[in-house]
Amino acid sequence: MSTPGIETFDIALPHGVTLSCRAAGSGAPRVLFLHGFPEAAFAWDEMLQRLAPAGRGVAPNLRGFERSSCPREVEAYRPRHLVADVAALIETLGGPVDLLVAHDWGGAVAWNLAAVQPQLMRRLLIINSPHPATFLRELRGNPEQQRASAYMNFLCRPDAEELLAENDYARLWPFFEEMGGHAWLDEAMRARYRAVWSMGLTGGLNYYRASPLRPARSPQDTLHTLEIPDALTTVRVPTTVLWGERDRALLPGLLDGLERWVPRLEIVRVPEASHWIVHEQPERVWQAITRALAAPA
C-alpha cells in the first residue's frame, strides 16, 4: 500500500539477505527506524514524512517481515544474525547514522547493535523495548513481569501461525486492542496490517522462538542459567529511552537500574501512553526524535 512521499525498495546485503525498505527525504541528518512485532516498516511512515523536509529516513522491514528475506529455521533469528543485518544495512546505505530509532523487537536488535558496534550511530532512541540485562533480571525475579510476558510462550508454539491467523486474526488484534489500540486502529489501519500479516507470520514468531528471554516453564529452563556479560550489553552511545507506562506487556520496572548498562542515559516516561506509543502519540515520538537529533554527541 503506497503512502504519499514514501519510497519503497529492496536492498540486497552482502551476506545474502534482502530487506524491503521504506524511506523518505535526502541528505542529513540520517535516521534509521526499526519496527517490532506484529508490526512492519510502515509503522514509521509518519515519522519518515515528518523528517523528509530536513533529512533522510529509512525504515527496513526486518528479516522475516513483509517482503524481506524470511529463513524458515529458528536459528536464523538469533541476535547475531539480526544485528548483522542492520549493521550491513547501515554500511550499505552509506555509513553511520545520526540516530537509530527502535521499538519492541527492533529495540532488542538496536540494544545489541549499539553495544557491539557503537560506531554505527551517533545517538540511540529506544521506544518501549527492554534492555536485555534488565529483562533477564525481571523475568527471573519479578512475578508481575513473568505474568505480563506469558504470551511469549504462546507465540513459541509450533502452531502459533495457524492459531493467530484464524477468524481474521482474531487472536492478533487484541495485541493492539487490549493495550490502547482502539483510538488509532481504524479500518484503514487494520487493512494495512492484514496485508502484511497475510504475507506470513513465521518470521516474526521466530524472534520469540529464537530468544531465551521469555518466562521459564520449568526448573530446567535456560532462563535460570543464562548469563549475559556486561561487555556485550553495555551501551556507551548517548541514549534516550521513551517509555509509555501503560504498557501491559513490558512493565516500568524494566527501567530500574538501567544506567548501570547505559551510562549516558535519558529516560522519558509517558504515563498516559501504552506499548503502541508510536501510533498513539506520534507528536511525542517526533519530539523525542528532534531533541535527539539536536543534542550534542
Predicted local distance difference test score (pLDDT) of residue 179: 72
Among candidates 182, 184, 110, 179, which has minimal Cα distance to 148? 179
Predicted local distance difference test score (pLDDT) of residue 4: 80
Question: Residue 77 falls within a domain, yes or no?
Answer: yes
Question: Residue 206 falls within a domain, yes or no?
Answer: yes
- C-alpha 46/C-alpha 244 separation (Å) is 19
Predicted local distance difference test score (pLDDT) of residue 183: 80
Among candidates 90, 137, 77, which has minimal Cα distance to 118? 90
For the chain, residues with pLDDT lower than 70 are 1-2, 180-182, 297
Among candidates 18, 203, 19, 38, which has minimal Cα distance to 104? 38
Write the DSSP assignment of 147-165 as a string of letters. HHTTHHHHHTSTTHHHHHH
Predicted local distance difference test score (pLDDT) of residue 1: 56
- C-alpha 249/C-alpha 277 separation (Å) is 13
- Residue 197's domain spans which residues? 7-218+235-294
Interacting residues of 255 by C-beta distance below 8 A, sequence separation 6+: 134, 241, 243, 267, 269
Question: Residue 230 falls within a domain, yes or no?
Answer: no
- C-alpha 136/C-alpha 138 separation (Å) is 6
Question: Residue 223 falls within a domain, yes or no?
Answer: no
Give the residue carrying C-alpha cell 537529533: 293
Question: Residue 226 falls within a domain, yes or no?
Answer: no
- C-alpha 7/C-alpha 138 separation (Å) is 40
Question: Residue 138 falls within a domain, yes or no?
Answer: yes
C-alpha cell at 100: 537509530
Asked whether the beta carbons of 235 and 114 are under 8 A apart, the reply is yes
Containing H/E element for 138? helix 132-141
Question: Residue 227 falls within a domain, yes or no?
Answer: no
C-alpha cell at 75: 536459528
Question: Residue 240 falls within a domain, yes or no?
Answer: yes
What is the SS3 assignment for 264? coil
**For 137, phi and psi rounded to 5 degrees?**
-60, -45
Question: Domain tally for the chain?
Answer: 1
At 57, which CATH number? 3.40.50.1820
Predicted local distance difference test score (pLDDT) of residue 178: 80
